[in-house]
Chains A and B, each alone.
Chain A
Amino acid sequence: MTAHPVSRAFPNPYDVQPPEGCADYAEMYPYYLRFNEALRTGDEDRFWFFNGMHFPEPVFPFDIITADSPYMALGQINTRIFAVPPALGIEHRVLNGYVYISSNSVLDPEEIGRRAQLFLPRAGYYYRNWDELYARWIVKVEAAIHELSALEVPQLPEFEDESVVTDGVGFGSTYQLMVAYNRLLESIDLVWQYHFEFLNLGYAAYLTFTQVCRQHFPDITDQSMARMVGGVEVTTFRPDEELKKAAREAVRLGIGSRVEGGGTLEDLEGRVGSDDAGRNWMAQLRSVMDPWFYFSYGNGFYHHHRSWIDDPRLPVATIGSYVHRLTAGEDIARPVDEVRKERDRIAADYRGLLPDDDARQGFDEALGLARTVFPYVESHNFYVEHWYHTIFWNKVREFGALLSRFGFFDDADDVFYLQRNEVLDALTDLRIAWSAGSEPVGGRYWKPIVAHRKDLIERLKQWTPPPALGPAPDSVQEPMTIMLWGVTTEHVQSWLDGAGESTTRLKGFAGSPGIAEGRARIVLNLEDLDRLEDGEILVAPVTNPSWTPIFGRIAAAVSDIGGVMSHAAIVAREYGLPAVVGTGFATTVIKTGQRIRVDGGEGVVTILE
């Protein structure tokens, strides 16, 4: 031990070597996302952390658009539109396929003051008109979703339709293909700008509430504060509510036993379709699938995160299990009233401990605003990451299918191994060849590249990304970093200490109160989710909103990544289940089948055997 403090650091990104066989992996990503020599001076001195919450796996070349568009939109809102005084945007880089991020802050008080002059009236306008602007937001986003959904990918027929002539159109499919692809890219950019239109302001309002609470109650937990704003109807719960509704209706119609049994939508239809009651029930179910089945099994950030609508086996099985529980006399409703009553009691009790009217007024204002913004903070996720992204990825697949048809790929999904600008190149190749009546060169050019990149991605998957890069900060101050990713000063220290190896006790965030013991089920993918048994404790890198229905079957939830406002924590609180989030290492330390104890009030997971 040295007497003077030595500043500790995570690996320097410029020293990190690519895994074997991956020397050229960086070519899968645009130059501006690499730790390249031109950026070394700045990048080397920054603290970067692994964004495993949104990008737990290596990112596919095309899929990086779901980092570029979001970070651009986030930064633009903070830096350019609202001039959030202390916070600019978030930088992102890709190292060995994994996304690392680093936030830009404003520290100069004079500059903060200058930005405040702009921020206060602008943010004030949004807060004052929140509900109205949010209503408009829903209209805008739904319009964007429908527009993308309706976007036709020109199929490059042998001969154009006669109407091109008789209507005097004057242009052909090559132009339309260009327009369609540009529309696709514009569309996701637009929707991600909408995504952040309210989000940062929402977090700022929530953060203000937490600071007001801490001023009076220095020991208050994050969870207590989160519970004071919970209990609201958010869109993310709607898909699960629809499954429950379908189950109740099936029981009412007396077709419950036929609904049970899982399988595909066709299997289900086969079982219930033998009479009018069953056929009507099925028609009703199909009518709610748009949009409520546009719910990703993952977080929506990867093209392979398919949705219920793509593979309805989970919702079909869930309806069946709800029927089963209803038949057994169980109550399957979310404890909304209890959560809400508890929310109001907690707020009233803390308020009752405040010293005077002034303090109570400040508390009421901050809580009122936090509650106003909260529904957006959670609901936006369904619209953008689930509904929109489901349609977006499938639309990209249509372009992939077109390229495939012209021999570029063996499979439509190979398109995701091309960067978006490379897809533009491929489409240009195709447009030129098709118009010239010749063969595109693309097949010979891209197939080996795709094959190589498939190998790269598989190899990069085997690499374990360090939790952070660069010099460790003395303290973590950036609000989003703490609230959403759960990266705190304490966590950074524990990463440096290499905590998590051969331990039986994991510390995370107290996500949702209560204590539960049970067998752990590590869920890394959809197949693991299928194996989950009732009463087990879900242990996952992150939990996704579309897993909501399984919260009715598990005893508790544990995640590697996420803060108190992460989806796992929010959903667990609404379902009245204990949850510990942001443990860092739960999925590597805990094994399926082990008995574990989850203390959601303290944020501790203990391995009992």
Chain B
Amino acid sequence: MSETPLIARLDQIGSTDSDTVGGKCAGLGELIRAGIPVPPGFAVTTEAFRMHLLENDLSPRGLDSAAIRRGIEEAPVPAALVAAIIDAYAALQELTGGTPAVAVRSSAVGEDGRAASFAGQQETYLWVSGAQEVVAHVRRCWASLYTSQAVSYREHLGTDDVPAIGVGVQLMVDARVAGVMFTLDPVTGDRSQIAVNSAWGLGLAVANGEVTPDEFLVDKVIMEITRRRVTDKPFEYVAAGTGGVAREEVTDDRRSSSSLTDPELLALSGVGKRVEAHMGSAQDIEWAIDRRLPFPESLFVLQSRPETVWANKRAAAPAVPTASPVGSLTSMMRDMLRQPGATPRSDAPERPSSN
């Protein structure tokens, strides 16, 4: 794998590249491959981290996590990598003009991904502007592999290998509205539904639990909104001029109104359906709608993970109320239908008409 480049554009990678760019970047590349709108960006490969360690003669072993982190963060990033990041950032600049803000995220590989996840330290830095800043934050992502918890976890596993890590760099979405969606109903496990949570501004308010999001349920077969609950959303996070984020009060006219229009909700659900179809399992998707772009080009998927709660739970069917008149009748009817020759021959419903 010595041929692995230092940088790879997200639209040039896919799920098979997770060893070289980490799981998160590989997933984003796979989404782009499936035609899902994902903010443009690039991956700093695992090879880049190895080069950083090698050229700086770093040997991140032992239990002194703080010392390891300091070592990684203080060592100069190899010139070849700096040049590559500057080039790749310039390509993003061409798309947006100015000095675009990007998100810089850890993208860990394999077992280490689990370790990092265990430690809760898959670092993400938002609103990073300028190539040199990107370089600096890439280095901080690397260092985040060595929190004390992650180090002890690896020690506990008895592994002494240097973990592999990629870093993703993507244009920031300046979210007018953001949230998550599950491609099933997380309450009932109903696979025919898409559950969408949304709130004004950046996704932080919902992630931090500061705002109760609007909740929608969309039937993915008929693409109709089957349930909606619009909440009071007093705060939102917006991009601040300084490159950070600011918490602001939501104006009265917006706080109790729906953060998604029906067309937005349906477009979002359509995207959710496509992600699920491409990934082959129910997904847990982070999304945002950019305030600077016209809809529908403004809609982006930030991340998609397999849904885990219901995934292993075998369609544990909710109990049919057999104690009710309806329940007892229909359960009998179903037993009756089970008997051979119980029903007349009829059009096989699974056969869609050919024209």
Residues of A within 8 A of B (CB): 84-87, 105-107, 109, 112, 116, 119-120, 123-124, 127-131, 204-205, 207-208, 211-212, 214-221, 223-224, 227-228, 337, 340-341, 344-351, 353, 355, 359-360, 362-369, 371-372, 477-479, 510, 513, 515, 601-602
Contacts and interface: CB of A to CB of B under 8 A. Distances in A.
Contact of A345 (B193, B262, B315, B352): B352
A364 B350 contact: yes
A112 B332 CA distance: 10
Nearest to A482: B326
Contacts of A116: 332
A152 B326 CA distance: 46
A340 B219 contact: no
A603 to B, nearest CB: 10
Contacts of B219: 219-221, 224
B188 interface: yes
A217 B190 contact: yes
Contacts of B54: none
Nearest to A201: B333
Interface string B313-355: 0110110100011111111111111110111101111111101
Nearest to B193: A219
B214 interface: no
A367 B349 CA distance: 7
B347 A371 contact: yes
B192 interface: yes
B332 A349 contact: no
B225 interface: yes
A364 B327 CA distance: 19
Given A211-B330, A355-B314, A366-B337, A349 B221 contact: yes
A3 B346 CA distance: 55
A208 B349 contact: no
A478 B317 CA distance: 23
Contacts of B157: none
Nearest to A602: B225
Nearest to A215: B317
* B-side interface mostly: loop
Given A205-B333, A207-B329, A220-B190, 8 more contacts: A211-B326, A228-B349, A341-B352, A348-B350, A368-B349, A371-B349, A479-B329, A602-B228
B103 interface: no
18 contacts: A86-B324, A86-B326, A207-B333, A216-B191, A216-B317, A217-B191, A217-B193, A219-B193, A219-B217, A341-B352, A347-B350, A347-B352, A348-B350, A353-B192, A366-B337, A369-B346, A478-B325, A602-B224
B1 interface: no
B326 to A, nearest CB: 5
Contact of B343 (A105, A109, A228, A368): A368
Nearest to B315: A355
A112 B328 CA distance: 8
Contacts of B222: 221, 223-224, 227, 346, 513, 601
Given A87-B325, A224-B222, A207 B317 contact: no
Closest 3 CB pairs of A and B: A86-B325, A601-B224, A211-B330
B333 A84 contact: no
B343 A127 contact: yes
Contact of B338 (A216, A355, A365): A365
A372 B349 CA distance: 11
Contact of A359 (B217, B315, B326): B315
Contacts of A353: 191-192, 221
Most chain A CB neighbours (cut-off 10 Å) among B192, B331, B333: B333
Contacts of B188: 218-219
B229 interface: no
Nearest to A86: B325
B190 A119 contact: no
Given A215-B317, A349-B221, A372 B343 contact: yes
Contacts of B348: 364, 368
Given A218-B185, A366-B334, A128 B343 contact: yes
A119 B62 CA distance: 76
A7 B214 CA distance: 33
Interface string B202-238: 0000000000000001011110111110000000000
Given A344-B352, A479-B325, A220 B192 contact: yes
Nearest to A355: B315
A205 B333 CA distance: 8
Most chain B CB neighbours (cut-off 10 Å) among A211, A350, A513: A211
A362 B315 contact: no
A602 B265 CA distance: 14
B317 A124 contact: no
A106 B320 contact: no
A84 to B, nearest CB: 7
A202 B44 CA distance: 63
Contact of A215 (B224, B320, B325, B349): B320
Given A218-B188, A220-B219, A362 B325 contact: no
B315 A221 contact: no
Nearest to A475: B324
A601 B324 CA distance: 28
Contacts of B314: 355
Contacts of B317: 215-216
A363 to B, nearest CB: 8
A87 B228 CA distance: 35
A112 B338 CA distance: 20
Nearest to A116: B332
B309 to A, nearest CB: 15
A502 to B, nearest CB: 21
A218 B346 CA distance: 26
A128 B341 CA distance: 7
A479 B222 CA distance: 25
A225 to B, nearest CB: 10
A341 B188 CA distance: 29
A218 B190 contact: yes
A427 B341 CA distance: 54
A602 B227 CA distance: 8
Nearest to B333: A208
